[in-house]
């Protein structure tokens, strides 16, 4: 297989995105994770631009990154100084990074308006900067900034800038679509022209996503012979982002037969994608190709039934190859196939209601091409679940975004429900004093836990928070691990139908503990009651998961 090298700039170009910030410690963790993925180069930052990036290059020396190499980024030297006196070039050398990437201007507009120098002086800056760095680093790359725009503006001058970079000793010419506005058809023609002018020069591609073509442009560049692809994990970056390396790597490996990372590391793509989102405190894009939560989700009943027979019916790759999983959301569009697959996903088997029918079905399995784990489509529990889901969704529930509530519903229908606690009553008072005094919400609750009745109260930052605090206070003595739960998000939506304050509301609660995230739902005319439903499901789901983990640990202990 042909080899293409992956150059990751999440730590530099990625951090220019709004709401994407990494500390030095975060950057070290990301670098180590990227090294585990097997990318060839990690651009750690611009050491001459800020103290954080400078510190990163000092700290990263203490870590073993295998075959992955750290790159430092900077610009050509200042137009009014010599390379040996230029602060940025000196900082690049001091970083002791084995790889250095510098950028220079390819566009006459950029040279005259932004750099404010002459075209000839710009060519000197490129050659002199690279020539100065060449003997001081192990690998030297040149990022031809605004190359595609510059080529369209003045073809000959753009090519002369590449000639200047080669004269300075660049090991690879990286063509940059800096403004992200180049169409793929334009890019193809321009790269062909570059290859004709410099047939032996190694080329790279650095695309931005302002026209939502960064991945397509990067893949087209590889098809034309580019041997290095630059981008960021999840496509984070300034404005609309950079080329998404997650999609690029998956397409190179699985669609184009181009080697870039190992097959084993390919299965880490979802893990790495999620890791970067979490570290930057960003919500993962559930619709992201290859690694998103919905990338292999089949909501429609017809689709689910077809995928059950053969996943190729509605999947372009096996999700496991990129570390993802197939999901079957259940909604009012679902058929029995969705329920069957959901029950299998949860590891639940319906109780038999007709032994003779089940026995006959077992004999028919081979003829139907079904595995032993397939559930009988005629099982009355499956019909009950399907009917119940459709009934609840008609009332305003939406289970595709609240899978924890759905799992509890399926468990109850299949006889696997357990009542960890039972509400006796609750009361919420939201009292306000004077004009300038804040409200004082307080919740009182009575619940039964086994043979125990608990009556307690709590306050909170609002009536729902007070209710949750009271419930947690009542239960934590029996279930201490509930202290691990954090409520991450709370959403309320007014449902169409009745108008004004008499309308129904739907409440989504997203929760997490040390290992899992889960979402639950409640619907009612009363916002407190809808919130109560979602909170109860959240706590019940946590208790179910903890109980299952304990059972698995006990079984593993017995086996060992």
Residue 537 sits in a domain of what CATH number? 3.30.160.270
Nearest to 69 by CA among 20, 160, 141: 141
Q: Is the pLDDT of residue 297 over 90?
A: no
Domain count, the chain: 3
Residue 7 lies in a domain: no
The band of 400, judged by pLDDT with boundaries at 50, 70 and 90, is: low
- Sorted by sequence, the CB contacts under 8 Å of residue 3 that are 6+ apart come out as 227, 258, 259, 260
What is the chain's alpha carbon radius of gyration, rounded to the nearest angstrom?
29
**Does residue 456 share a domain with residue 384?**
no
**Does residue 469 share a domain with residue 394?**
no
Query: pTM value?
Result: 0.70
Residue 346 lies in a domain: yes
Do 214 and 231 touch, CB atoms closer than 8 A? yes
**pLDDT in the model for residue 355:** 47
**Does residue 364 share a domain with residue 334?**
yes
Q: Is the pLDDT of residue 435 over 80?
A: no
Q: Is the pLDDT of residue 489 over 90?
A: no
**pLDDT in the model for residue 279:** 85
Q: Give, in degrees to the nearest 5, the angle at Cα 306 between 302 and 307.
A: 115
Task: Kindly state the tokens that stand for 413.
Answer: 């229908």
Residue 444 lies in a domain: yes
Residue 284 lies in a domain: no
More confident residue, 396 or 519: 519
Task: Kindly state the tokens that stand for 363.
Answer: 């004999």
Residue 369 lies in a domain: yes
The band of 387, judged by pLDDT with boundaries at 50, 70 and 90, is: confident
**Does residue 554 share a domain with residue 497?**
yes
Residue 1 lies in a domain: no
Total residues found in the chain within this entry: 560
Question: What is the residue range of 214's domain?
Answer: 45-227
Work out the mean pLDDT of the chain and round it to a whole number.
87
Residue 22 lies in a domain: no
Whether the CA torsion 408, 409, 414, 419 is positive or negative: it is positive
**Does residue 429 share a domain with residue 402?**
no
Q: Is the pLDDT of residue 305 over 70?
A: no
Lowest-confidence range among 79-83, 251-255, 257-261, 292-296? Answer: 292-296
Whether the CA torsion 552, 553, 557, 558 is positive or negative: it is negative
**Does residue 501 share a domain with residue 398?**
no
More confident residue, 177 or 341: 177
Do 207 and 181 touch, CB atoms closer than 8 A? no
- The three-class DSSP label of residue 279 is helix
Q: Is the pLDDT of residue 327 over 80?
A: no
**Does residue 432 share a domain with residue 394?**
no
**Does residue 58 share a domain with residue 187?**
yes
Alpha-carbon gap, residue 341 to 337, rounded angstroms: 6
**pLDDT in the model for residue 407:** 83
**pLDDT in the model for residue 354:** 43
Q: Is the pLDDT of residue 529 over 60?
A: yes
Task: Kindly state the tokens that stand for 71.
Answer: 């790159």
**Does residue 406 share a domain with residue 472?**
no
Answer with the one of 193, 227, 261 that is the final residue of a domain. 227
**Does residue 504 share a domain with residue 473?**
yes
The band of 370, judged by pLDDT with boundaries at 50, 70 and 90, is: very low
**Does residue 198 share a domain with residue 82?**
yes
The band of 368, judged by pLDDT with boundaries at 50, 70 and 90, is: very low
**Does residue 380 share a domain with residue 426?**
no
Residue 543 lies in a domain: yes
Answer with the one of 411, 439, 460 that is the final residue of a domain. 411
**pLDDT in the model for residue 499:** 60
The band of 264, judged by pLDDT with boundaries at 50, 70 and 90, is: very high
Answer with the one of 210, 227, 244 that is the final residue of a domain. 227
């Amino acid at each position: 297989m042909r080899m293409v090298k992956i150059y990751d700039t999440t730590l530099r170009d990625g951090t220019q995105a709004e709401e994407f910030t990494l500390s030095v410690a975060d950057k070290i963790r990301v670098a180590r994770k990227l090294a585990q993925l097997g990318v060839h180069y990690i651009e750690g930052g611009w050491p001459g631009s800020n103290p954080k990036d400078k510190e990163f290059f000092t700290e990263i020396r203490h870590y073993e990154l295998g075959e992955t190499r750290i790159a430092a980024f900077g610009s050509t030297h200042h137009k009014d100084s010599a390379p040996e006196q230029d602060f940025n070039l000196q900082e690049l050398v001091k970083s002791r990074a084995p790889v250095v990437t510098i950028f220079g201007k390819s566009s006459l507009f950029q040279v005259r308006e932004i750099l404010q120098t002459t075209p000839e002086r710009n060519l000197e800056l490129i050659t002199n900067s690279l020539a100065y760095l060449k003997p001081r680093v192990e690998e030297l790359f040149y990022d031809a900034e605004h190359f595609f725009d510059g080529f369209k503006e003045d073809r000959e001058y753009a090519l002369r800038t590449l000639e200047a970079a080669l004269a300075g000793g660049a090991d690879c010419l990286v063509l940059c679509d800096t403004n992200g506005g180049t169409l793929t058809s334009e890019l193809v023609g321009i790269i062909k022209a570059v290859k004709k002018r410099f047939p032996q020069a190694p080329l790279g591609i650095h695309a931005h996503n302002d026209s939502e073509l960064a991945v397509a442009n990067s893949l087209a560049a590889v098809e034309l012979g580019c041997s290095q692809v630059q981008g960021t994990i999840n496509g984070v970056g300034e404005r609309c982002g950079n080329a998404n390396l997650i999609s690029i790597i998956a397409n190179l490996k699985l669609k184009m037969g181009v080697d870039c990372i190992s097959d084993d590391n390919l299965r880490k793509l979802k893990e790495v994608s999620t890791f970067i989102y979490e570290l930057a405190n960003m919500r993962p894009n559930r619709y992201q190709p290859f690694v998103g939560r919905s990338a292999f989700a089949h909501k429609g009943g017809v689709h689910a039934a077809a995928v059950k027979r053969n996943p190729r019916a509605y999947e372009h790759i096996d999700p496991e190859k990129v570390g993802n999983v197939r999901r079957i959301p259940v909604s009012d569009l679902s058929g029995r196939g969705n329920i069957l697959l959901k029950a299998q996903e949860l590891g639940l088997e319906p109780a038999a209601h007709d032994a003779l029918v089940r026995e006959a079905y077992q004999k028919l399995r081979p003829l139907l091409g079904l595995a032993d784990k397939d559930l009988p489509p005629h099982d009355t529990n499956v019909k009950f679940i399907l009917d119940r889901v459709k009934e609840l969704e008609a009332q305003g529930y939406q289970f595709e975004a609240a899978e924890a509530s759905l799992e509890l519903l399926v468990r109850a229908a299949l006889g696997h429900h357990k009542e960890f606690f039972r509400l006796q009553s609750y009361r919420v008072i939201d009292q306000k004093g004077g004009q300038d005094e804040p409200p004082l919400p307080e919740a009182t609750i009575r619940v039964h836990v086994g043979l125990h009745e608990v009556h307690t109260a709590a306050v909170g930052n609002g009536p729902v928070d007070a209710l949750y605090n009271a419930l947690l206070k009542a239960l934590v003595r029996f279930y201490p691990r509930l202290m691990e739960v954090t409520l991450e998000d709370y959403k309320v939506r007014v449902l169409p139908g009745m108008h004004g304050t008499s309308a129904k509301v739907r409440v989504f609660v997203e929760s997490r503990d040390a290992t899992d995230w889960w979402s639950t739902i409640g619907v009612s005319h009363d916002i407190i009651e809808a919130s109560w439903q979602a909170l109860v499901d959240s706590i019940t789901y946590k208790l179910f998961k903890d109980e299952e983990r304990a059972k698995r640990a006990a079984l593993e202990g017995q086996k060992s």
